[in-house]
Each structure stands twice: as C-alpha cells, then as structure tokens.
Structure 1
Amino acid sequence: MSLLGGIRPPIAALSALLLALAALTAFQLGHVGRESVPPAVLTSQQYFAEDGAIALRASLDESITDIGRTASLFGSGEPVSPDSVLDKLGSVYQKWRGTAVIEIKSGRLEAQRGENLPLTALDLTALDGESGLAPRMVRLENGETRLLTLALLSWPGRPQQLLVASSSLKVPGISLGRSRAIAVLDSSGQVLGSDGVGGSGQEKKQLAKFAKTVAEKAARNPLQAKEPGSGGFAGVSGSLLGDSKDGRRSVAGYAKLTGSQPGVGTDASALGLTVVSFVGVAEERSAAVDSFFWIAASAALLVLGALAVALLVTTVQRPLLRLFLESRRIGRGDLNRPVTVPKYGEAARIGAALDRLRRQLLGEPGAQTGGPRAGRRARIGTRALLGVCGVLLLVWSAPLLLTLNRAGASVAVPKTIVEDQRERTDTLADRVRRALNEGHADLTSVASVISDKTTPAELTKLLERTRNQHGRYESLYVLKADGTVLARAGAAPHHPAGKGPSKHPVTLVDSGNRPVITEYAEATGLAGAAVVGELRIDFLNALLKRPGLGEVRVVDAEHRVVGGNNGYRAFTPLSDADLDALVSSANDKSGANDKGDAGDKSDKGPHAKSALLRDGGVAVAAAAPMTGGGVAQPLDWTVVTWQPAKGLEIPAYTTQNRTVLAGLLGLTGAVACLGWIHIIVVRPLRDLARRAEALADGDRRTVVYPTHHDEVGAVTRSLEVIRLQLLEQRKRDAAGGTTGRTPGGATPAGRN
C-alpha cells in the first residue's frame, strides 16, 4: 500500500495538527498585552523619527539648491555688490542664521548678514569642482554645529567670490507636543542639535544612551536593516526601548537621512545624519485576556479533538481495516467463518455483500440475488460520520472566529497613539505650508532678476532652468499686467485670458474638478508683471504619503477636499460628519483650547486637534490647520487624517486577531484533513459499496478495479478475485463438473 494513501495518514495528520494547535494556543497566542509598551507605540515613534528625517533632508536639500540657484541667477545678470546680493537673498529667504560673501583670491570678507560665520574653517584653496563646494558641518566655539552651504559668484572681469550661508542642524517644522524631544546625530553618535531636551541630567543621560545605540544601528545597510519587501521609508529606521523610572519608560524612534528614492542619494543624505526622537510613556503590563482563557481553549481543543479522532478510528479506520482482512480471507478461499460485518456506513454494506458472496461461493441456495443486506445502521454513511467530526471541531473554531475576544467600541487606545496622530498631522500641515512658501520664494527669486531689458528668449531659458531645478511646477510663465504671457515653460496656463496677475500670492482654482494651485510673484523690474507658477497637484499629494497616518486629506476653508494620499474626488466634502466637526474645532479662532488634547499650543486660536471616533468602529483622527505664517496661511487649509484603530498593534486588537487566527487554523486543519479522508477514502468506499452489492446481486460481467493503492484498493482487488472465482464456478456448473469442492480448494460446511 502507498505510504501516503489510505485511512491512517489523514487521521494521523489531524491528530498532529490538533496537538500542535493546542500547544500554540496555550503557549504562544496567549502572550498578548504582556509588553511594557504596546508595539503600536514603538512603531509610532519610528514613524515620528522618519517624519523628522524627511523634513530635515528636504530642508537641507532645498537650502543647498536655493544657494546654488541664487548665485547662478546673479551670475547671469549684471554685476552687483556683495551687500546687494545678501540683501536680496535675505528679502527672499528667511531661513539662514547667517550669510556672507568672501573674495576667494584674497580671502577678504566682502559682506555679512546675521550671525558671525566660522570662515576660518573654510579652505579657499580647495574649491575646485563640485566636491569643493559640497556642504560641510562646522562646530562653533560654544559647542553648537552649523551647516555651511557654498556657491560661487562670478562675473566676467571681476574676482570670483564665495557665497556662504549657515544653518543650524535642527529639524524644522516638527510638532513635539509636551514631553517629546528630538535630536540630530552625526555618524559617530554625537549630538549636533536638539529640541525639547530639558536641562535634567536624566534626559541628557537617556539621549546619550540612545545616541550610542542609534549610531551602531544607523551604520547598517538599509537592505539588511529591514525585512524584504517592507517598503515605506527608504533608509535605516527603527525604534528603541529606554530606561524605566516611576512607571514610565522612554521610547525612541530613529531614522537616517536618505533620498526620496531607494539608492539615490542627495547632498543632505551624504552628511550621514540621523534623527532620533524620544518620549516617555506609561508602562502597562496588564494582559488583554487572562492566560486561563487560552489554557481552557487549549484543553477544550484537546477534548473535542480526541473525540473526533476516536470517532474516526472506531467508525472508519478499524472497520475498513477489518474489511481488508476479511476480503483477503475470502479471496484466498477461507469460507468457513462468516464475515464480521461492521455496524455503520458503507463498511457495513460491503461487509454484508462479502458475506453473501462467501455463501455464494459455498453454493448455499439462500445466498443468491435478493439475499439479506446490511441493517438499519448501514444507512448512517461515512460522510455523516465525517460531518459529526467536523461539527465537533467547528464547536471549537466557530466561537473563536465569530464571538470570543471581540474588541468593541469601548476599546482603549493608548494616549500616546492619539497624541502622535495629532502631532504628526500638525507636522504634515507645516510641511505643506513650507512647501508652498518655498515655491513662492523660488518665484520671487526668479522675479528679482527680471527687468524690462530681459528678452523673451532669456525669460524662457530662465523659466526652463527653474522648472528643471524644481519639479513642483507644472507650468511657469511671465504674465504682464494686461494678461499677456511673455514667456512660458511647461503646460498651457490656466490663468484666465485677458486678466492680469492676481493680488493674492497663492490661489486655488477649480479647473474641471482638478485643483490648480497658482502662485504669483511680482516682478519689480517689469511694471505690473509677475512670475506665475502652477504647482502639480501630484506634488502636493506626494507630500501626504506617510505611513502610519491612514487616510490623509487637505481641505480648504469650505471643508472641500483639495488633495489626499490616495484616491479622492476634488472639491467634495469630507465623507464623515465627525471629521467635518473636528476640522471646525481645529479652526476655531475664539474657543478655548483643550490643553489635554492640543499639547503645547496656545490657549486660543487654531491648533491641531485629535479625537477618537467610535461610530462604525474606533478610529484615531486628527486635524491641523496650516499656521505659522507665509503666503500659504491665508488659504485657510487644514490637513485631516484618520485611521481605524483595528489596524494598530494594541493589545485588544492583537488579542482579537490571534483569536481569529486560532479559529482559522482549527477550521483549516479540520477541512483539510477531513476533506483528505473524504476524497481518498469515503468517495472510493461509497463506489466500492455499490460495486460489492451489484456483484452480490449477480453482476458478474463488470470488472471491479481499484482507484488507489490503499485499504479500499486492497478490498477492491479482493472483490475482483472473488468475481473471477464466481465466474469459474459458473463455468464448472455449466459443464456439469464436480460441485462438491469450492473454489480455492475449500470444503463446504458439513463435508470432510
């Protein structure tokens, strides 16, 4: 017989699966809620650090690009004084702590604005090529670190000058809330800049521990630091557990600066910086479900599984093996003893047919067609027995799948998760605001070099170069006061024909259910004209794609959707009234602030708000208006995010998921093993019962052949031997041969 066929392997497999599932239920699935900090809190800190790394990398790259482009714009025009360069730079951009212009040949400081720069750290003799102008970090005497960004200023016939800008290495635009701290580390783990770190020695000691560990982890290859196919942040990131004190534990997230595309570096990512953020959270070691539940569930599975296996063994396996032995005995010619007929199912029918065939071989007159068949118990088929086993196992699996350990609307979501949703939404709103402000600053920089002497060809070249340097624009053009387009780069303008530039720096236009964000920068050198940039809506939507925030939407002052991180219909209202109310609450300019909800914001005015929405399932939601100044603030846009709590790794939902998993495993194992028995044993056995009864009823012409080489197949082969013996007996009877001997040399009962 086949080693993998027959009745024994599926029953053995079912027994092994039930034992393994019982052990898994008792010793593994019950370990929920025993962590001091829920995994969802750790993941949230990792996302927070990734937000900081993205913001810092984007800010540094933007600053490096702006310095280089500004120097290029000045170099393409008439020579200007160093003071004029710095004044113009300061009026357009307000993001550098200090700027300076140095004559490279003599090393003389020509002009300076803001804080004093550590110019002695610059080697002016090593500025050849791109590597010589690469940004560099310099430590000041007071211990702070500055990033120096360099660009060449050159005009024909004048000595070359070096434009230098310094910026601090602090993460811009990150909403920290009350107790969070964030720091920037170099590749060796040294703290270059921090925010939110108090003067207590405990916080500084904890930061030093985190910095040492983060420096080691950040040195890994990104492909080896994450699971294959995990996606998300392209660089190295993760979370850490810190020290515990007075029932609170420090939790940190870290992320190394990396390019927006995997494997594609930038000037900022080449600095080897890492952002680490940490916050203190309350420790909760209460298990979501008592371990007794899982032990009881395991014991119940063992009892029900033992009943199911015992039923299969006693009503299916043993009768089939007995039939196998009886059929071989009859086939060998041992006809003296009656066949032991099983009590239930197809085995009973086959046993009764075998006994009739035995008596036919003996020549008994009452054994011909129409003889006695199996009793009433044979009506209980093997399929019914399998169904009973399935019901026994379903009694254990169904409650786990459908009713037990359900996380209802009153599920407790950790406060840290709700606060992180709010702060990350606030950070995202600030990121959108900064992106719009940066875009307008770029247009202002272009507009500052335009005069009435600039030809349309030169304007087109300037616009093309700007559009190539900044991928945010779909269209760039210069618009005169009468609405005439002097020069254009990119797609066709959406500005109304015949109308002059808008008085508002940033406007939003509905162009066929497609938002068009248009920015205007006045060209002072060309009366009434303006440089106009239309931003790609995909640029705005790309800013919103951050993991761990769920659904993200940007809504305007009328609460209409302008952008989102996935599919949406533009200029439609929010889909939920609770979200609409949350946006209204966040934009309330007169109501008092709920300090427990809004962190460290002011007591009045618009501020980020968060809430737990419990209609139709628990969801964590937050709304943050774009505040902080700049040309984008008058838009009155709000970023709103929400995500279902069931997707978070918190104890209540983890317990529910593991309970459902246990039920699914039990159901799958039962279906697989019982289905195996049905296909390999029950169906061939039913067909064999029909053939055996037909043979006992006198059908000698139909060949009985086996389907599988197992117990059922062995019984089938024995029936074929009996059929051939009956045919030989018929031939002898027809030829008038001796009838005193039975086939196989057996002697009828009552003879010697």
Structure 2
Amino acid sequence: MSLLGGIRPPIAVLSVLLLALAGVTALTLGRAGQEAVPKAVKLSQQHFAEDGAIALRASIDESVTDLTRNAELFSAGDPVPPDAVLDKIGSVYQKWRGTAVVEISSGKLLAARGENLPLTAIDRGKLADKDGLAPRMVRLEDGETRLLSFALLTWEGKPQQLLVASSSLRFPGISLGKFRSIAVVGQDGHILSDDGIADPSQEDGAGRREQIKQADKQLKAFAATAAKKSRTHPIMSKEPGSGGFLGVSGHLTGDRYLGERAVAGYASLAGPEAGKATDATRLGLTVVAMVPVAEDSTATTSSAFGLLAAAALLLIGGVTIFLLLRTVQRPLIQLFLEGRRLTRGDLERPVSVPRRGEAARIGAALERLRRQLLGAPADKQSAPARRGRFGTRTLIAVCAVLLLAWSAPLMLMLNRAGDSVVVPQQMVNDQRERTDTLTDRVRRALNEGHADLTSVASLIGDRTEASEMSKVLESTMHQHTRYQSLYVLDAKGKVLAKAGDDPRSPSDEGPSDKAVRVIDEGGKEPVIIGTAEMAGRDGAAVVGEFRIEFLNSLLKRPGLGQVRVVDAKRKVIGANYGYQEFESLPSGRLNALAEGTGQKVGVGTRPSGVLYRDGDEIQIAAAAPFAGGGAASSLGWTVVSWQPASGLAIPEYTLQNRTVLAGLLGITAAAACLGWLHIVVVRPLRHLADQAEALADGDRRTVLYPTHHDEVGAVTRSLELIRQQLPTGTQRKRDGATAGLAGRN
C-alpha cells in the first residue's frame, strides 16, 4: 500500500489533529488573558525601555561625533589656543557638564570649563591604541557616574592635545509621568543613574517613605536581573521573525505592594543597524523602566470555556471518525478482501455486499461477476438500483458539516470582544508619555542639527576659498547622515560652496532669518531647512537641508501604532509609514486632538492621551506638541500617534483571537483531511464503481488501470484480473458452436 495514499492516512491524521486541537483548546481558551496584569501593559513597559535605550544611545553617539568632528575641524586649520577651543564649543553646545584640554605628553591641564574632570582616570599611554579614544565611564567620589568622551587636537609643530568632555548618564527628554522610574544599569547590574525615584528623607509621611524604599528595592532587583538577561545574544532572546527592537529587550514582573504590582521593561543599547556596533553600544549599558500597576481583582483563571469547547470537539470528532471508519474505511477494506478472494478462485461463497454508497455498487458488481465466472450470462442492472443509495461524497459532506458546527461558532460568534472591553488606563498613559518622549526626540534632533550648522559656520570663520569651505561641509556630511545637502549662501542668495545634493532653497533670496523652516516646492516631500548665520560675513550663512527619511526614521517605534508629525495647520510633515506631503490627518477627532493639544503649549499643560470608542472599535490616541527651547521650538509642530486597541494583548481581545484561531484550525484540519480523502479515495472510488458495473454489464474490452497503489487500486487490480478470466463474446460463440457439433455427433 502507498504510505501517503489509501483510506487510513487521512482518517488517522484527522484523528491526531482533532486530539491535538482539543488539547490546545483546553489549555489556552480557558486561561486566555486572565492575568492580574495584562500582557499589553508588560509589553508597553518593554517598549518604554526600548525608547529610553534608543534615546540614550543616540545621545551618547551624537556627543562623541560632535566632539570628534569639532576637534578635526580645529585641527584642519591654524593652531587655536585651548581656551578659544573650549569657548567656541561651549557657545554652540550645552550638552557637556565639563570640558578640558590636556597636553598628552606631559599631562598638563591647558584649559577647563564646567565641573572638574577626573583626569587622573585617563591612561594617556593607551591613547594611541585602536580603542584609546573610546568613551569610558568613571565614578566620582560622591558616587555619581560620568561618561568621558575624547578627541585629539593635532597641529604641526605643536604637542598633541587631548580634548575631553564629560556628561552624565541621564536620559534626554524622557517623559516619565507621575509614578514611573527609569535607570541606567551597568554590566555588573549596579544602577549608574536613575530618574523618578524620590529621596525618602525628603518625603512627608512614614507610608510614603516606605513606598519609596520598596520601589528603590524593586528597581535594584530588576536592574540585576535585566543586566543578566541583556548578556544574551539578540537573536537568541527573541522569537524567530519577531523583528522590532534590534537589541535585547523584555519585561519583568515584580512583587506586589499595597494592591499594586511592579512591572518593568528592560532594553540594552543597540546600534541603528543590525550587527553594527557604536561607541554607546560598546559600553554594555542596559535601560530599565519600572511602573507600579494596579492589579485587576476581577481576573479569574477559570478553564470552563476551554474545557467545554474541548469536550464538544472530542464528541463531534469522535462521531466524525466513527462515521468515516464505519461507512468509508470498513466497506472499502471489505471490498479489497472480497476482490482478492475472487481472483484466487474462491467462487463458492457469495460476495458480502456493503450497505450503501459506491462500495455497495462495487460489491453488487463483484457478486454478478462471481456468478459470471461460474458460467451465468452477463445481465444488466437497472439504473435506479445503481444510483438509489447515498454516495461517499454525501458522507464526507456530513462529516464536514459536523466539524463546521464546532468551528463556525468559534470563528463568528463566541467570545466576541464588544464595546465592554476594558482598556487599562496605563495603556493610555504610556501612549501619551511615549508620544511626548518621541516629540522631544524629534525636537532635539532638529536642534542638534542646527547646532551643527552653527558650529560649521563658526569653524569656517574667515575662509573665503570655495575649496576650503567645501572641505568643512564634506566632513560634516560624512559624519552626519541627517543632511541631504549643505551649502554656504551669501547675502544675495548666491551659493559659495556646497556638499551633497543641489540646493532646493529659493536662490533668488538671501539666507532666511528663521533657524529652521519648512518649504513646499511641489515635490514628493517637504523640504526642512536649517540656517546658521556666519558672524562677520555680511549676512552669509550656512544652510543645511534635512533628509525627510531622517525625520521619518525617528518616528519608527514598536508598539506606538501610526505616528504623524503635523505643522501648526495640522498638515503632515513626516510619518512612520506611507503618507503624502502636507495631507490632513485621517480623521476629524485626531485633527481636533492635535489642535487642542497645540493650543495648550503656552500654559505648561501636559500632552494629551485619549481613548476613543466607536461601537466595537476602540482606539488609543495621543498628541504632544513641541515644548522646550532651541531652534526647532518655533516650528509649532505636534506629534500625533494612534493605534487600535484590538492590536494590543488585552484579555478580551486575546480570548477573541485565540477563539477565532481555534475555529480556523478546526476548519483547516477538516478541509485538509477531508479534501485529501476526497481526492485520494472518493473520486477514484466513484470512477471504479462505474467501471465495475460496466464490466458486470458485459464490457470486456475496457482495461482497468489503478490510479493509486492503495485499497482502491487493489480492488481495481482484482477487477482487471477478473476481466481477464471472463470469456469474451467471440469465445462464447466459439464455445457454443463447438458444443453444437459435439451434440450432432
């Protein structure tokens, strides 16, 4: 018999699949989403930690790049006094807590600004190594941690100097809300810096102080666990094909205190591209974000529904398998045995004819053929006798209907998540805070871009040769991918030097007096332009055009849904997914949300988060306007994000999704196995029934070929052997003539 053909494999596979599906149904449907803290809340904390890791990595790498680029530009010109170097850097950037210039050969401090730097922690003998200028962390006497960044100042004929800058491991622009805390954790699991944990000694009330102590204790426990988990390789830490954050990330659940459960997310610092390490990622830091979440006391762990659904499937599946065994498999095997008996010459016992279907037709034909082998003439059976019984196709359809009766309600009716879905308030808060963090990240990115332009304008100084200015512009383009083009304009709008693409700023005008602006040139994307005036150059300025892809890349955050950056007129400037330039937001309520939030900027209010309900459709939305200083603050932009609640791991939606999945699996198993049975057995059996009746009616010329090497094929071969044993019409005439001559003699 064929290994994959025949009547047995489809029925056996269907039995195994139904048993497996019943087990899965019992284990998953009853407990789907019945957790005190929904999985959606845990995943949201994981995404929050990922946002913090992205912001911290970008801040560290940006700081190192800015320091290195400025040192290279200083080194490319005439020697500059150390104090002038620090003054120029300090006038453009305010990101460092302290800066200093040190003579490498002697270790002498030449100039310093800001806080005192721990210069004794610098091993000047290793600066020539490959990683000698890599940033490193040092711990101060008061226990705080500083990150030191280095760059070389090199002029011909002068001793080599080291430019040093220190910064704290604080998160730039992270919106924590009221109760969340976030920390930077080292490789050893110790907390290097944290935000959101108050000082217990400054709090009133013993209960509040105890609550803070518990939070601090829980954060330290999370930090130790997260540091250990972050040492896992990113590929091994995630499910295959999950995508999303490129580093190691996850969520943790802590102890319960006063009805609240501590939930944390963690994320290691990962590069912007897979497999690409940066100065920040080599530090081995991990970000941990923790928030207390009120437990849902109504959540239960009842498995009643799953057990009932599994029991119903076992009952229906048992009836289906019984019908297939009793009405399809058993009669076919009976025909196989009867046909083989007749081919061996055992013609004394009548053929046992099945009761119904094609098997009954073939059995009746075998009985007629048995009598013909014994010498009876071929007789034609009437059509009603042949077609009056239910066929095998009808039995297969009945089995399909039985399985559909279990699967269809699960797919279409049971466990529907209606308008009574409870969306945790923490999800709305997280959407708002993450949108606010993203808004600050976009604003800071534009501010940093304008600061770079200001630095370039300062470093170009009195250089008038186009080649010298282009060299500075090319160096900046190489180190920063945010620009599409850089160029120098004189007071009349003439391009003096450029790098990158051709300028798209209006050439008939002089440099704009706006630090950052957006123009619509009728192309496929908005043009974002930054301008920095060059001191002492009669209105000349350095202009940079930002790549719109750079803006859009900042908006791609997992778990935040659709994100749009809109201007003061609520026209779209950038997005994390496809959009058209200056199009409107997709709905009036989102437009109203952006407009209402933008009007609150001047009164110090927080960003807005809202839950929209429209029947069964539930949507979480948030909007956050540009708030804070810098060149980009005058743009009046707002970041709007929204996502359907049905895409979140909320208990009601989880139960609905798993119920629908169980129904789909049931239909798939039924369609696959019953379809397999129909193709391999039912269709060949119907064809064989017609051939068997034709043979019994006297057709001795048609040769019977088996389609498959299975039970139907075995019966076909038996009928072919019987056909070869039956006398043809010529033989019967010859035998009759011979018998007549013998009688006369």
What does residue 362 of structure 2 align with? 350
CA shift, 1:554, in A, is 0.9
1:572 equivalenced with 2:572 (yes/no): no
Letter in 2 for 1:165: A
Q: Deviations along 1:212-264, whole A, 9 cap, x unmatched?
A: 11222222333333334433222222222222222211111122223212222
Asked whether the equivalents of residues 134 and 267 of structure 1 are also in contact (C-alpha less than 8 Å), the reply is yes
1:201 aligns with 2:213: yes
Distance in 2, Cα, partners of 1:673 & 1:548 = 38
Following the alignment from structure 1 to structure 2, what is the Cα–Cα distance between the partners of residues 130 and 324? 80
1:469 is matched with: 479
Superposed, which structure 2 residues align to 1:206-245 within 5 Å?
206-245=218-257
Identity score, percent: 63
- 2:742 counterpart residue number: none
Cα 1:676/1:131, change in 2 over 3 Å: closer
1:395 equivalent in structure 2: 405
C-alpha distance in 1, partners of 2:600/2:611?
A: 22
Q: Which moved more, 1:100-109 or 1:512-521?
A: 100-109
Of stretches 176-185 and 342-351 in structure 1, the one that deviates more from structure 2 is 342-351
The one-letter amino acid of 2:545's match is E
Q: Secondary structure at the match of 2:236?
A: helix
SS for the counterpart of 1:96 is coil
- 5 Å-filtered alignment, 1:523-602, equals 523-589=534-600
Pairs within 5 Å for 1:24-43? 24-43=24-43
Q: Which residue in the other structure is 2:696 paired with?
A: 696
Give runs of aligned pairs for residues 68-83 of structure 1, distance below 5 A. Answer: 68-83=68-83
Shift of 1:354: 2.7
Partner residue, 1:488: 498
| Residues 354-433 of structure 1 aligned to structure 2 (within 5 Å) | 354-364=366-376, 368-372=378-382, 375=385, 378-433=388-443
Task: Compare 52-61 and 30-39 and name the one that shifted more.
Answer: 30-39
Aligned equivalents of 2:351, 2:624: Cα separation in 1: 84
Shift of 1:437: 0.3
Measured after TM superposition, the shift of residue 429 of structure 1 is 0.8
Equivalent residue for 1:519?
A: 530
Residues of 2 paired with 1:639 and 1:252: CA distance? 26
Q: Using the TM superposition, name which of 21-30 and 621-630 deviates more.
A: 21-30
Query: Does the 8 Å CA contact 2:601/2:627 hold for their aligned counterparts?
Result: no
Shift of 1:730: 6.7
User: Deviation digits for residues 290-331 of structure 1, max 9, x if unmatched?
Assistant: 522221111211222222222222222232233333334444
CA distance in 1, matches of 2:582, 2:123: 55
Which TM-score applies when normalising by structure 1?
A: 0.91
Over 3 Å counting, the alpha-carbon distance change for 1:337 and 1:496 in structure 2 is: same
Q: CA deviation at 1:662?
A: 1.1
The alignment status of 1:341 with 2:353, answered yes or no, reads yes
The AA in structure 2 aligned to 1:449 is L
1:282-321 to 2 correspondence within 5 Å? 282-284=294-296, 286=298, 290-321=302-333
Assess if the C-alpha contact under 8 Å between 1:476 and 1:490 holds in 2: yes
Change (3 A) 1:304 1:480: same
Greater CA drift, 76-85 or 411-420: 76-85
Where does 1:143-222 land on structure 2 (aligned, <5 Å)?
A: 143-156=143-156, 158-199=158-199, 200-222=212-234
Question: For the Cα contact (< 8 Å) 1:33–1:286, is it kept in 2?
Answer: no
Deviations 1:506-541 (A, max 9, x none): 010112232111001010121111111111111111
* Code of the aligned partner of 1:382: T
- Cα distance change of structure 1 residues 327 and 72 upon mapping to structure 2, 3 Å threshold: closer
Q: Secondary structure at the match of 1:387?
A: helix
* One-letter code aligned to 2:587: D
* TM superposition shift of 1:421: 1.6
The whole-number CA distance in structure 2 between the counterparts of 1:306 and 1:227 is 36
Secondary structure, aligned partner of 2:726: helix
AA at the equivalent of 1:555 = V
Matched to 1:209, the amino acid is: A
Is this contact kept in 1: 2:361–2:386, CA < 8 A? no
Q: Counterparts of 1:127 and 1:326 in 2: how far apart (Å)?
A: 93
Do the aligned partners of residues 336 and 72 (structure 1) sit closer, same or farther apart at CA in structure 2, a change above 3 Å counting? Answer: closer
Cα displacement string for residues 598-657 of structure 1 (whole angstroms, at most 9, x for unaligned residues): xxxxxx445321222334732222211111111101111111112222222222222122
- Code of the aligned partner of 1:722: I
Contact kept? 1:346, 1:378, Cα under 8 Å: no
Match of 1:725 in 2: 725
Q: Deviation string for 1:567-610 (max 9, x for gaps)?
A: 1111111112222122122212289xxxxxxxxxxxx4453212
- What is the rounded CA distance, in whole Å, between the counterparts of 1:145 and 1:622 in structure 2? 35
- SS of structure 1 residue aligned to 2:393: helix
Match of 1:445 among 438, 444, 455: 455
Partner amino acid, structure 2, of 1:647: G
Q: Which amino acid aligns with 2:190?
A: Q
**Could you tell me how far apart the structure 2 residues matched to 1:123 and 1:722 are?**
99
Report deviation, 1:396: 0.6
- For 1:545, give the aligned amino acid: K
SS in 2 for 1:727: coil
Q: Which whole-Å deviations, capped at 9, do the CAs of 1:421-469 have from their partners, x for residues lacking one?
A: 2111111111110010001101111111334453222111111111112
Once residues 14 and 156 of structure 2 are traced to their aligned partners in structure 1, the CA distance between those partners, rounded to angstroms, is 87
1:571 aligned partner, one-letter code: F
Amino acid at match of 1:524: A
Equivalence for 1:610: 609
> What code does the residue aligned with 2:358 have?
E
Q: Secondary structure at the match of 2:617?
A: coil
Partners of 1:228 and 1:46 lie apart in 2 by 18
1:66-93 CA deviation, whole Å, 9 max, x = no partner? 2222233333444444433333222211
Give unpaired runs (5+ residues) of structure 1: 592-603, 740-752
Cα offsets for 1:105-154 (capped at 9, x unmatched): 55444443322322333344554356443322221221111112223345
> What's the offset of the Cα at 1:373?
6.1
Instruction: Look up the SS of the partner of 1:89 in the other structure.
Output: helix
Deviation of the 1:353 alpha carbon: 2.4
**Distance of 1:289 and 1:575 partners within structure 2:** 40
Does structure 2 retain, via aligned residues, the 8 Å contact 1:554–1:564? yes
Structure 1: distance between partners of 2:299 and 2:223: 32
CA gap of 1:382–1:443, structure 2 versus 1, over 3 A, is same
Structure 2 distance, partners of 1:105, 1:307, is 90
1:288: Cα distance to partner?
Answer: 7.6
Q: Counterpart of 1:745?
A: none
Letter paired with 2:465: T
Matches within 5 A, 1:40-189: 40-104=40-104, 107-124=107-124, 126-128=126-128, 131-156=131-156, 158-189=158-189
Moved more, 543-552 or 702-711: 702-711
8 Å CA contact 1:607–1:625 kept in 2: the answer is no
Asked whether the 8 Å contact 1:35–1:285 carries over to 2, the reply is no
Once residues 678 and 190 of structure 2 are traced to their aligned partners in structure 1, the CA distance between those partners, rounded to angstroms, is: 67
Report if the CA contact (8 A) 1:613-1:620 is conserved: yes
* Alignment-mate amino acid for residue 167 of structure 1: S
Moved more, 341-350 or 562-571: 341-350
Higher mean Cα deviation, 369-378 or 651-660? 369-378
Alpha-carbon distance in 2 for matches of 1:496, 1:704: 85
Query: 1:336 deviation in Å?
Result: 4.7
Higher alpha-carbon deviation: 435-444 or 80-89: 80-89
What letter matches 2:592 in structure 1?
A
The root-mean-square deviation of aligned C-alpha atoms, in Å, is 2.6
Over 3 Å counting, the alpha-carbon distance change for 1:122 and 1:358 in structure 2 is closer
Q: Which letter does structure 2 place at the counterpart of 1:397?
A: S
Deviates more, 1:69-78 or 1:89-98: 69-78
* Structure 2: segments with no counterpart, 5+ residues: 200-211, 740-745
Indicate which of 272, 275, 293 corresponds to 1:281: 293
Distance 1:372 1:333, change over 3 A: farther
The amino acid that maps onto 1:512 is: G
Normalization by structure 2: what TM-score? Answer: 0.92
